[in-house]
Amino acid sequence: MAGNTAMNVIKCQKCGAECAAGTSYCRQCGAPVDQELATAPSEQATALLDESVHAATQRFEARPTGPDPVRFQQPANVSHGSRRGVLIGALVIVVIGVICVATVIGLRGRSQAAGNLVYPGARTIFDMTGDGGRALHLESPDSFSDVEAWYQKELKPDKTMRLTSTSVVLKNQKTTATIASESDKTSILIKVAP
């Protein structure tokens, strides 16, 4: 084929550059190429090859291209993935159990402390907790003097501030109780510091 390409190449008469046969102009200088010099055809006729001598495609024995599926199979009775899954599942259950126990203990301790603050028979308007502190609003049909006497006994306040004849603030180290009477109800506001 290399010999054929040499015959198909002609030289430009102006600059001497090699030009392919069948081209009309030189690619170097742009001068017209003399077509009389290019007498050789630019392409040869297609030749048919004897199929018995030259086989274009040969069939080979099939081979796997990936890892051997038999070699990498896990034994039927052992599965590392299932063991790991069971272990992780058990660990999650233990962690959830510890969290539940801690929550119940915390709520029990909080409700015992709150039990000392909730006036017997009072209706809870709201009960908020946050950042370790607590705010509680209660309402009782009992008289102002009965409610105040009960909180004096339960809180054992360090300070007592009487605002009016029907309102008082009782305070100890962590708890402040404000008691006020309105018509036939007594409101109790309690704040517990963290």
Q: In this structure, are residues 95 and 108 in contact, taking their beta carbons and an 8 Å threshold?
A: no
- Confidence (pTM): 0.42
Digit-coded pLDDT (tens) for 70-128: 555 555 555 566 778 788 888 888 888 888 877 766 655 444 444 578 899 899 988 88
Reduce the DSSP state of residue 83 to 3 states and report it.
helix
C-alpha distances in Å from residue 51, one per residue of 44, 54, 56, 57, 69: 20, 5, 8, 11, 39
Residue 139's pLDDT is 93
Top pLDDT among 51 and 165 is at 165
Digit-coded pLDDT (tens) for 13-44: 889 888 887 788 888 898 888 766 555 555 55
Lowest mean pLDDT among 33-42, 45-54, 69-78, 140-149: 69-78
Q: In this structure, are residues 124 and 136 in contact, taking their beta carbons and an 8 Å threshold?
A: yes
